[in-house]
Amino acid sequence: MKPLSSYSKEELTAFKNELDKKYSDYKSMNLKLDMSRGKPGKDQLDLSNELLFIFKNSNDFYASDGFDCRNYGQLEGIPEARELFSQLLEVAPSKIIIGGNSSLNMMFDAIARAMTNGVLNSEKPWGKYDKIKFLCPVPGYDRHFSICQHFGIEMINIKMNQDGPDMDMVEKLVSEDDTIKGIWCVPMYSNPEGKTYSNEVVRRFANLKPKALDFKIFWDNAYAFHHLSDEKDSVLNIIDECEKAGNPDIVFEFASTSKISFPGGGIAAIVASDNNINEIKKQLFVQTIGPDKLNQLRHVKYFGDANGVYEHMKKHAEILKPKFEIVLNALSCELDGLEIASYNNPRGGYFISLDVPEGCAKRTVQLAKEAGVVLTGAGATFPYGKDPLDRNIRIAPTFPPVNELEMAMNLLCLCLKIAALEKCLSM
Amino acid sequence: MKPLSSYSKEELTAFKNELDKKYSDYKSMNLKLDMSRGKPGKDQLDLSNELLFIFKNSNDFYASDGFDCRNYGQLEGIPEARELFSQLLEVAPSKIIIGGNSSLNMMFDAIARAMTNGVLNSEKPWGKYDKIKFLCPVPGYDRHFSICQHFGIEMINIKMNQDGPDMDMVEKLVSEDDTIKGIWCVPMYSNPEGKTYSNEVVRRFANLKPKALDFKIFWDNAYAFHHLSDEKDSVLNIIDECEKAGNPDIVFEFASTSKISFPGGGIAAIVASDNNINEIKKQLFVQTIGPDKLNQLRHVKYFGDANGVYEHMKKHAEILKPKFEIVLNALSCELDGLEIASYNNPRGGYFISLDVPEGCAKRTVQLAKEAGVVLTGAGATFPYGKDPLDRNIRIAPTFPPVNELEMAMNLLCLCLKIAALEKCLSM
């Protein structure tokens, strides 16, 4: 295939007519396919079913310290669940609080607490400012941005380089403006680009000198163990690096088993310095008497230790790797040479990020939707749902079964070509 | 026994010497007993163990609408869990959101949302006022008061009558002051007094005409099914009454299975008008992708329907009734006639509230503590931990085994008599 930009008007029209025909064939199939969210598929969920049968008798409800997990208490989670995350994230158990089923909820709550009561070293609650701001590496995770929007936090786009956010820009902004209170980071297999922060980027984060003494890095380590094969990325331990930099309190790290065990029935964690954890516990004590410790216990009994988790993640990879290959093959077969798409080939995570010609993302997603394939909304990967160039599409290959995924990808490529042709023809 | 007030100085001294001797005998026993919190005992937890073994095979994880409870979604809870609470609370399922394991957490979150974003009809978020206030019927639940204190909400004590809060005072205050934004209510078997609101009180609540258009009644229906025998209290349906009064949006009701199934592993609910529920869901959507639906499913599979819950609660009553009798017998045998104590005889709930001579509550609790029996801190049942008359002690008989409870009660009565004698002798 030759670049679309080199097509003559006649060639463009002929190509478009051909594709319109194909598109109308798809439409007549009345498809109903969903590639919109980073949800594990049924086969992935089945991997962990045994976790739900793990209690065998009534002696099974006690934590290692003898605590009855059925009753109230243990605000910070049971010791063995903290130990499991301690092994996984290589952080002392005392720096970890295990919560309920959602790390998103823990992130939301962390910001809610900051809004109403402030964090360590806050002069006043964040909600008492006329305006505060967060830095948002883009493209990024829509639900991070929704949290900011919900709390009226102004978002500033930060360019993502191949090895993480543009740190020159981050350093400059945080050093100048004390109303910049935080930044969202997905340091490994980032959502949606699958990029992993380099050692230099992590160290520059750890060494930030923000004007705001209560600036926090929200380190959403959502995909730390979510490799697609033995070729793995790795990221420096942010808690360690911040400590080494004499900046231990600057970061909140988050993780969960949502995409290890069950998205609706996993366990989540917040990780931070001892000072931060003490501060959080004071506030958490008012919010709840304790998390669901039985589910924490199920997870520890099922996985045993970090190695149990690593082995388990290989089974996820076996299911996901072929799905990612379907997406990449479709993109390559259908689009290579046309020069209307660029995309990443991540070694892990949940997404493939597709960049299309400027002004074509919305139209592509709309065409796909009209033919029965729901994609993540165009723009969703940017604050306020506004992709300034209208060019990023997030592909979430995990949820549809393989045959549906193939169909959906072929349609997506078709829609993109039509959108690009429409653009060429209108110029 | 004759009233302590009628004792001569010599009699008082002799009595005190006798009791001091007994007290020092207790002290030498090195007791370690805990009557401080409303925690179910181990035998109560064992009643629901089967719930934790309820999943038998991999077809068991689907909700009635086919939804895979292991995955993301179902923000408002699964249909059958909403249906179960609908039967229990006699409210349409659409007015119910089922959350995680803690109704306290849902109350905290409801106020947190109000602080940062306001509720229906808020002119501005509650956090944007210099000062807002809540009404607090006293004595009441310490954790309600902690939430207010955490958010800097000023608390105003409201006298509890036999049939609920002093509604003359409530009506007067809310009609005059638009910075009064809420009131805490435990309408049935109130914490700690075990009182149940009369129909008149409920209707006066439903017909409140607060000056603040965003005033909310926080209706913590924590003990709605927690009868001690077949002699049951009942309370009018607040959701219905508010609707009838043309005041549907004024109330948030809360309930949970914490003291039905497991305190650490139950499910909780918020109940409100359709308008409120829509408003809450909008905010909840930002906070989480969904609750732990597997645990909701376990509960429905285990209890079946409301009748299943009612039958189950009879088993709790069989365990709790004797414990309440031990407390009441001890109080009666040890204190009747001395005129130094008044206490309730509730038909349900988790507490017995003991009023002692003014200025004697703290001293009694301290004496008990020094002899190895931990009681709820004196003052805890009042905002800011300050009992203005220092006379209320909350007795929580559920957690200790029967033999320990007898011992603890005997010691408590002894400590109270000593405290009262000290007071008489110092006058």
Which chain B positions have a beta carbon within 8 Å of A149's beta carbon? 286
Residue B92 CA, distance from chain mean position: 24
- Are the Cβ atoms of A127 and B115 closer than 8 angstroms? yes
* Predicted confidence band of residue B271 (pLDDT cuts 50, 70, 90): very high
Nearest CA among B288, B282, B290, B278 for reference residue B117: B282
Helix or strand or coil: residue A158? strand
Structure tokens at A324: 């990612």
Residue in A closest to B62 by C-alpha = A42
For residues B20-28, average pLDDT: 97
Q: Greatest CA separation found in chain B? A: 78
Question: Which A-chain residues 277-316 have CB contacts (< 8 A) with chain B?
Answer: 283, 285-295
B contact residues 144-163, partner A, Cβ 8 Å cutoff: 146-147, 149-151
In angstroms, the CA A390 to CA A416 distance is 13
Please report the pLDDT score of residue A304 as a whole number: 98
Pick from A55, A102, A292: CB nearest B101: A292
> What residues contact A73, with CB distance under 8 A and at least 6 apart?
A67, A289, A290, B264
CA gyration radius for chain B? 23
In the predicted structure, residue B427 carries a pLDDT above the cut 90: no
Residue B154: what are its φ and ψ, rounded to 5°? Answer: -70, 135
- Token digits of residue B66: 């086919």
* Side-chain-facing half-sphere of B364: CA atoms under 13 Å: 34
Return the percentage of chain B with pLDDT > 70, whole number. Answer: 100
| Whether B70 contacts A264, CB under 8 Å | yes
Q: What is the mean pLDDT of residues B240-260?
A: 98
CATH of range B61-304; options 3.40.50.920, 3.40.640.10, 3.90.650.10, 3.40.50.720: 3.40.640.10
Strands A268-271 and A96-98: antiparallel
A150/chain B closest Cα distance in angstroms:
7
Tens of pLDDT along A30-87?
999 989 889 999 999 999 999 999 999 999 999 999 999 999 999 999 999 999 999 9
Token reading at B312: 């189950």
CA angle B318, B319, B324 (to 5 degrees): 100
CB B288 to CB A105 under 8 A?
Answer: yes
Asked if A58 and B70 come within 8 Å (Cβ–Cβ), the reply is no
The pairing of beta strand B392-395 with beta strand B352-355: antiparallel
Residue B394 and residue B381 in contact, taking contact as beta carbons nearer than 8 Å: yes
The ipTM is: 0.96
In what side-by-side order are the strands of the sheet with B96-98?
B96-98, B268-271, B251-256, B216-220, B180-185, B133-138, B154-161, B164-165
> Encoding tokens for residue A34?
């969903």
CATH class of A4-45+310-426: alpha beta
- Kind of pairing, strands B268-271 and B251-256? antiparallel
Closest by Cα among B232, B237, B297 to B267: B297
Q: Render each residue's pLDDT in chain A as its tens digit; 427 residues.
A: 899 999 999 999 999 999 999 999 999 999 999 898 899 999 999 999 999 999 999 999 999 999 999 999 999 999 999 999 999 999 999 999 999 999 999 999 999 999 999 999 999 999 999 999 999 999 999 999 999 999 999 999 999 999 999 999 999 999 999 999 999 999 999 999 999 999 999 999 999 999 999 999 999 999 999 999 999 999 999 999 999 999 999 999 999 999 999 999 999 999 999 999 999 999 999 999 999 999 999 999 999 999 999 999 999 999 999 999 999 999 999 999 999 999 999 999 999 999 999 999 999 999 999 999 999 999 999 999 999 999 999 999 999 999 999 999 999 999 999 999 999 999 8
Neighbours of B11 (CB within 10 A): 14
Compare CB distances from B42 to A68, A73, A147 and report the shortest one's residue.
A68
Among chain A residues, CA nearest to B291 = A264
Can you spell out the DSSP letters for A291-359? --HHHHHHHHHHH-SHHHHHHHHHHHHHHHHHHHHHHHHHHHHHHTTT---EE---SBSS-EEEE-STT
Cα distances (angstroms) measured from residue A36 to each of A351, A369, A377: 10, 11, 8
What residues contact B176, with CB distance under 8 A and at least 6 apart?
Answer: B211
Rounded Cα distance between B267 and B69, Å, is 14
CA B254, B257, B258, B259 torsion-angle sign: positive
Q: Which residue spans of chain B are classified as CATH 3.40.640.10?
A: 61-304
Q: What is the pLDDT of residues B367-394, one digit of tens each?
A: 999 999 999 999 999 999 999 999 999 9
Joined tokens for residue A93: 């158990």
Q: Which residue of chain A is at minimal alpha-carbon distance from B259?
A: A71
pLDDT at A134: 98
| B residues 370..399 contacting A (CB < 8 A) | none
Distance (Å) from the alpha carbon of A13 to chain B's nearest alpha carbon: 43
Query: Please, which contacts does A66-70 make with residues 24 or more away whose CB atoms are closer than 8 Å?
Result: A67/A293, A68/B42, A68/B45, A69/A293, A69/A294, A69/A296, A69/A297, A69/B264, A69/B265, A70/A293, A70/A294, A70/B45, A70/B48, A70/B262, A70/B263, A70/B264, A70/B265
What pLDDT is recorded for position B7? 96
Six-digit token string for A420: 């690009």
Query: Chain B residues with CB inside 8 Å of A143's CB?
Result: 286, 289
Three-class secondary structure of residue A155 per DSSP? strand
Report the pLDDT value the prediction gives residue A311, as an integer from 0 to 100. Answer: 98
Task: Give chain A's radius of gyration (CA, Å).
Answer: 23
Q: How far is CA B133 from CA B123, B211, B213, B366, in A?
A: 16, 13, 14, 32
> Using an 8 Å Cβ cutoff, are B224 and B235 in contact?
yes
Chain centroid to Cα A208, Å, comes to: 23
- What are the residue ranges of CATH 3.90.1150.10 in chain A? 4-45+310-426
Contact B425, B13 (CB under 8 A): yes
Phi/psi at A181 (5° precision): -110, -10
The pLDDT tens digits of the residues spanning B48-102 come to 999 999 999 999 999 999 999 999 999 999 999 999 999 999 999 999 999 999 9
Partner-chain contact B100 A292, CB within 8 Å:
yes
Q: How far is CA A42 from CA A13, A295, A302, A399, A413, in A?
A: 42, 20, 19, 8, 25
CA pair distance B314, B326, nearest whole angstrom: 19
Tokens of A136: 């948002």
State the CB neighbour count (10 A cutoff) for residue A165: 26
Residue A79 and residue A98: Cα distance in Å, rounded? Answer: 9
Mean pLDDT (chain B) is 97
Residue of A115, A116, A145 for testing the chain B interface, max B β-carbons within 10 Å: A116
Facing B116 at nearest CB: one of A39, A46, A115: A115
pLDDT on residue A65: 92
Which pair of structure tokens corresponds to residue A372?
A: 């029965």
Q: Which of A68, A265, A287 sits opposite B108 (nearest CB)?
A: A287
Identify the residue among B151, B191, B286 best suited for mutation to test binding to A, counting A beta carbons within 10 A and taking the highest: B286
Question: Which among A181, A311, A105 is positioned nearest to B284, based on CA atoms?
Answer: A105
C-alpha closest to that of B150 among B142, B160, B139, B140: B142
Rounded to an integer, the average pLDDT of B275-281 is 97
Q: What is the DSSP letter of B80?
A: H
- For residue A1, what pLDDT is reported? 83
pTM: 0.97
Which DSSP category does A271 fall into?
E
Pick from B104, B116, B293: CB nearest A116: B116
Distances (CA, A) of A41 to A402, B219, B371: 10, 40, 58
Per-residue tokens: B20 = 């001091």
- Chain A residues inside the 8 Å CB shell of B61: 45, 49, 52
CA distance B344 to A395: 63
Amino acid at A163: D
Among B71, B265, B285, select the one facing A264 at the smallest CB separation. Answer: B71
Backbone angles phi, psi at A17, to 5 degrees: -60, -40
The DSSP call for residue B248 is G
How far apart are alpha carbons B139 and B392 in whole angstroms? 8
Give the B window 55-84 contacts with A, CB below 8 Å.
Answer: 55-56, 58, 61, 68-74
Query: Using omega within 30 degrees of 0 as the cis cutoff, is the peptide bond preceding A401 cis?
Result: no
